[in-house]
Chain A
Amino acid sequence: DAGVIQSPRHEVTEMGQEVTLRCKPISGHDYLFWYRQTMMRGLELLIYFNNNVPIDDSGMPEDRFSAKMPNASFSNLKIQPSEPRDSAVYFCASSRSGPGELFFGEGSRLTVL
């Protein structure tokens, strides 16, 4: 079975540009999570969805960040405009309802110059 698929794996962009990160969760999973990983702050939960509905977006850093889940098989995370401090690895993870085994994608490494 395919795992969580993220794209792009690497993105290098200039400050001020719009960035879109994409995620395809595992089929049948009800929950989708976006995390950000940096050396300084570790792994931070940005937002999560249940059945395509955003449940908690309290971790989204600011209005420049937005995430949508238009259907059960796709989510995107947008940053507009991007800033150098947004440079990080962004992970998408999905899970079935239950004790919380998250299945992570391989991450999207974002570098904002």
Chain B
Amino acid sequence: GEDVEQSLFLSVREGDSSVINCTYTDSSSTYLYWYKQEPGAGLQLLTYIFSNMDMKQDQRLTVLLNKKDKHLSLRIADTQTGDSAIYFCAESIDNTDKLIFGTGTRLQVFP
């Protein structure tokens, strides 16, 4: 079935790197996504990666994809307090715009 798993919490010190991990199930997903949800708001797309790529870098964000293990990670360099939020990975199902979201990882950044 469709299942996207993430750890629930991550706590890091300001200035350190954060790594948020995700495992997914649909090997046919063309794209995999990272979304961010700030308190009281909807989700916002952070970045996405095409399935034939291993890595994508976008400023402080680095996405790594291991298709063999169906493992996706998001690294945030120089984490700031403004990065505190819930981060969701998502996969597209059957190459449609139907996105299935993971459980979300709550990132807490402390000074």
Contacts and interface: CB of A to CB of B under 8 A. Distances in A.
Interface of A: 4, 31, 33, 35, 42-43, 45, 48, 50, 55-56, 91, 93, 95, 97-102, 104-107
B48 A99 contact: yes
B100 interface: yes
Contacts, number: 56
Given A43-B104, A48-B98, 7 more contacts: A43-B43, A50-B97, A55-B98, A99-B48, A102-B97, A104-B42, A107-B42
5 contacts: A43-B43, A43-B88, A43-B101, A55-B98, A104-B41
B103 A45 contact: no
A42 B99 contact: no
Given A31-B97, A100-B31, A42 B42 contact: no
Which among B33, B40, B41, B99 has the greatest number of chain A C-beta atoms within 10 A?
Answer: B99
Nearest 3 pairs of A and B residues by beta carbon: A104-B42, A43-B101, A42-B103
Interface residues of B, number: 22
Interface in B14-36: 30-31, 33, 35
B103 to A, nearest CB: 5
B101 A104 contact: no
Contacts of A97: 97
Contacts of A55: 96, 98
A100 B42 contact: no
Given A43-B88, A97-B97, A99-B48, A104 B43 contact: yes
Given A42-B104, A43-B88, A102 B45 contact: yes
User: Mostly helix, strand, loop or mixed at chain A's interface?
Assistant: strand
B41 A100 contact: no
A38 to B, nearest CB: 11
Nearest to A6: B42
Contacts of A95: 97
Given A104-B42, A105-B42, A48 B101 contact: no
A4 to B, nearest CB: 7
Nearest to B102: A42
